[in-house]
Amino acid sequence: MPDSPPRLLDQVREKIRLKHYSIRTEHAYVDWVKRFVLYHGRRHPRDLGLGEVEAFLTHLAVADKVAASTQNQAKSALLFLYKEVLGAPLPWLGDITQAKASRRLPVVLTVDEVSDLLDRTSGTCGLILRLLYGTGMRVMECLRLRVKDVDFVRREIVVREGKGSKDRVTMLPARLVAPLRAHLEEVRVLHRSDLDAGLGAVWLPFALARKYPNAAREWGWQYVFPSARISIDPRSGRQGRHHAGDKAVQRALRQAARDAGIAKPATPHTLRHSFATHLLQGGYDIRTVQELLGHADVSTTMIYTHVLNRGGRGVESPLDSLDRTPPRPGLLRAREGGACYAGAGQA
């Protein structure tokens, strides 16, 4: 009896792994395909088309009230399904409307707010948060760091496979050299314990595991921030220690922000925004900041220049100049009387 063809979601996973997409992208795309199929009564996507795709995306926007970025992620997942997995012709591709994402200014903390926040963090989470602010890394870039990519002599960190599958180099803050060295000594002890238990192998990208069979157990390839527990790799099925998750980091930052009395909706990514903003305030060239952040286009980095302008692009409000303008006698009498004065020609 011939083997049955793989299930739809397994086909999606196989194609995503073939294209070396991240595990997070895999989880997101599989989830959107599953929701799409369930929304249309478990009908196979081969029997669906433009109308059903648009109905699903409209439902997300109207009923679920998802953000434009979330709606566009769902659209990307469905287009991947039809184009890459099902190999279906897409003459209607151009008819699907792209949700217009809002252009919002990033949340940025002041230098004093960052200092107050970090003073209320400690341990591994505190070290991670200091690295985020001190290097401009995204939280997952930090958590995926390997030991070999930290250069204490040159005081730099190589960020591998960042957003857009790009590598870049950022600085290692001098004040984090000693804490990071001490942290890695603890990680080395944990790694030796794993080796003694017959474990200690980490996930390697692409075909490196086949090319260098012993590399997965070498010290240089270990994660700087390993997980506290052993888990099963969802792709290989092997038992090992993955990198730490971001949930604990998010919780630590939220608690520190509350303790510091910071009302801004701060997240770990806020530290990256603050890193860029404070560099620009310090007079560094925007191209340098662009390179440190890993932005492909300087226009993306330009969003941080808004903080370099006081108020509305550095223009002084006329209200602030009133104290320097001698008041008219009529207005002076009104002020002295304490009444709300409204002129006859008030607009």
Q: What is the pLDDT of residue 116?
A: 96
Q: What is the pLDDT of residue 140?
A: 93
pTM: 0.76
Rounded Cα gap, residues 168 and 157, in angstroms: 8
Q: What is the pLDDT of residue 314?
A: 54
C-alpha torsion sign, points 47, 49, 53, 54: negative
Positions annotated as catalytic residues are: 138, 163, 269, 272, 295, 304
Residue ranges, the chain, pLDDT below 50: 1-2, 311-312, 331-332, 334, 340-347
Whether 22 and 140 have beta carbons less than 8 Å apart is answered as: no
For the record, the structure tokens of 136 come out as 């401009």
User: What is the C-alpha radius of gyration for the chain, rounded to an integer number of angstroms?
Assistant: 27
Helix (H, G, I), strand (E, B) or coil at 143: helix
